[in-house]
Structure 1
Amino acid sequence: MAGKFEIYNDKAGEFRFRLKAANGQTILASEGYKAKSGAENGIESVKKNAADPACFEKKTSSSGKPYFVVKAGNREVIGASEMYESDAACENGIKSVMTNAPGASVEDQTA
């Protein structure tokens, strides 16, 4: 199974997307969007930018754990990873997004 994007509604009724790796683990999650088209555009932006290492930015959470964000061409954040236990695990997460996102299918779970 290849990676896939899922579009879903959060508890507030906003549209979000997540990228799941072939093993089913979520490797990237979006912010909330008022319209489904916002989530769909976010997915296309991740697919387009995932091959560019410059679109990834590693960060450290307030609890000291590493994570990363993916930025669009306009430098806006379009997705964030989970918190990792190590820098190496964070690097593996980035590689996973770079591998899975470009060819990932999209599953709409909002219907």
Structure 2
Amino acid sequence: MGTFLVSKRKNDEFQFVLKAGNGQVILASEGYTTKAACENGIESVRNNSQVDSRFDKLEAKNGKPYFNLKASNGQIIGNSEMYESVAARDNGIESVKNNAPDADVKEDL
């Protein structure tokens, strides 16, 4: 089962990462000014991760595939790492879909 880990950045913004059951980070958030906004971002990931059209499959300038997860308003709520292949990126998307809905939330503040 996955885990959302909430932490604080050096600039005092809150952020979360979604980790798969094996501990690998599969999605990272933007910075949030409040913990409540960060928690809302987690709920947005839970909901939007179940809608295929909310995943933007992209390619970086260096040719590596990655994805962004967007909310219904088009705002990016999380992005992935760079992958070595399209298949690996697509597996990452499936991992977000499978882990996000029931993931525990832990804090490292």
Tell me the TM-score normalised to structure 2 length. Answer: 0.97
| Distance across 2 between alignment mates of 1:17 and 1:87 | 25
| Distance across 1 between alignment mates of 2:103 and 2:49 | 11
**Pairing of 1:18-37 with structure 2 (within 5 A):** 18-37=17-36
Q: How many residues align?
A: 109
Residues 14-71 of structure 1: per-residue CA shift (max 9 Å, x gap): 1000000000000000011111111101000000111110110111112111000000
- The answer to whether residue 61 in structure 2 is matched with residue 53 in structure 1 is no
**2:100 maps to what in 1?**
101
Secondary structure of 2:68's match? strand
| Distance across 2 between alignment mates of 1:34 and 1:47 | 20
| Distance across 1 between alignment mates of 2:10 and 2:81 | 19
Deviation at residue 104 of structure 1 after TM alignment: 0.5
Give ranges in structure 2 of 5+ residues lacking alignment.
none
Give ranges in structure 1 of 5+ residues lacking alignment.
none
Secondary structure of 1:85's match? coil
Cα-Cα RMSD: 0.7
More displaced stretch, 60-69 vs 85-94:
60-69
Residue identity (%) = 53
| Distance across 2 between alignment mates of 1:93 and 1:103 | 17
- Aligned residue identity for 2:100: A
